[in-house]
């Protein structure tokens, strides 16, 4: 089993419903365990700023899937939840990014791990450091903890805790 972390985001329609459905599908996926889920944050859009605000969270666990299979699972869940891929960085019902897969490093067009843009994104690093503060990430030639990476995020405004979520009640048999 390999430890992994993913980030989830939604800014269309019933945003929390999409996060919850995506996590439930992932948890039911053969060979994937979800062991920790962060708080849900309401976040100002980054990149393309003229779009609705997002709900974001980070989840982690262990998986028997390879990194490519985990990506395929994430893409399948995105499709099942009806994400329409149109504008880069534009609105989406659900976006699932793989942040880390063990200490694996990949730099292919279809799969980059650790996720190259997470280090400048407060909407990823705040929830990631919350559930895995001592997790080591390969940054260039160094290993950094998520907390150290979060310290280097320039702009942490625009990320607010949304609501108190009890993931055990929201997801069938989730154990935190």
Q: Is 113 in the site for ligand ATP (CB under 6 A)?
A: yes
Q: Is 163 in the site for ligand ATP (CB under 6 A)?
A: no
CA-based angle 15:17:20, to the nearest 5?
115
Token reading at 76: 């399948």
Residue 111 binding target from ligand PH2, ligand ATP, none, CB below 5 to 8 Å by type? ligand ATP
Instruction: Mark residues 45-64: x for contact with ligand PH2 by CB under 6 A, - for none.
Output: xxx------x-x--------
Q: Is 117 in the site for ligand ATP (CB under 6 A)?
A: yes
* Region of 13-21, 90-98, 157-165, 167-175 interacting with ligand ATP (CB under 6 A): 90-98
Q: Applying CB under 6 A, which of residues 5, 95, 132, 165 lies at the interface with ligand PH2?
A: 95
Residue 34 binding target from ligand PH2, ligand ATP, none, CB below 5 to 8 Å by type? none
Q: Is 173 in the site for ligand ATP (CB under 6 A)?
A: no
The angle, 0 to 180 degrees and rounded to 10, between the axes of the packed helices 67-80 and 15-28 is 140
CB atoms within 10 A of CB 74: 22
Instruction: Mark residues 46-75: x for contact with ligand ATP by CB under 6 A, - for none.
Output: -------------------------x----
Closer residue to ligand PH2 in complex, CB, 11/25:
11
- Residue 50, CA distances (Å) to 76, 89, 90, 108 in order: 27, 11, 9, 30
- Residue 87, CA distances (Å) to 15, 42, 69 in order: 18, 21, 25
The answer to whether 118 and 128 are in contact (CB under 8 A) is yes
- What is the helix (H) or strand (E) element at residue 5, kind and residue range? strand 2-10
Buried b (16+ CB within 10 A) or exposed e, 18-45: bbbbbbbbbbebeebbbebbbbbbbbeb
Closer residue to ligand PH2 in complex, CB, 45/61:
45
Q: Is 97 in the site for ligand ATP (CB under 6 A)?
A: yes
The answer to whether 107 and 27 are in contact (CB under 8 A) is no
Residues that bind ligand PH2 (CB under 6 A): 9, 43-47, 54, 56, 89, 95, 123
> What residues are annotated to the active site?
83, 92, 95, 97
């Amino acid at each position: 089993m390999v430890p992994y972390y993913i980030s989830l985001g939604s800014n269309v329609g019933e945003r929390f419903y999409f996060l919850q459905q995506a996590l439930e599908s992932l948890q039911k996926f053969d060979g994937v365990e979800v062991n920790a889920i962060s708080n849900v944050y309401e976040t100002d859009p980054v990149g393309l700023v003229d779009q609705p605000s997002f709900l974001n969270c980070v989840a982690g666990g262990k998986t028997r899937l390879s990194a490519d299979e985990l990506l395929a699972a994430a893409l399948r869940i995105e499709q099942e939840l009806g994400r329409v891929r149109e504008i880069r960085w534009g609105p989406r019902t659900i976006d699932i990014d793989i942040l880390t897969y063990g200490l694996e490093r990949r730099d292919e067009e279809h799969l980059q791990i650790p996720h190259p843009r997470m280090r400048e994104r407060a909407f990823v690093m705040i929830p990631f450091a919350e559930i895995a503060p001592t997790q080591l990430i390969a940054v260039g030639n160094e290993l950094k903890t998520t907390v150290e990476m979060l310290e280097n995020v320039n702009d942490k405004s625009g990320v607010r805790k949304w609501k108190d979520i009890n993931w055990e009640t929201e997801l069938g048999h989730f154990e935190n």
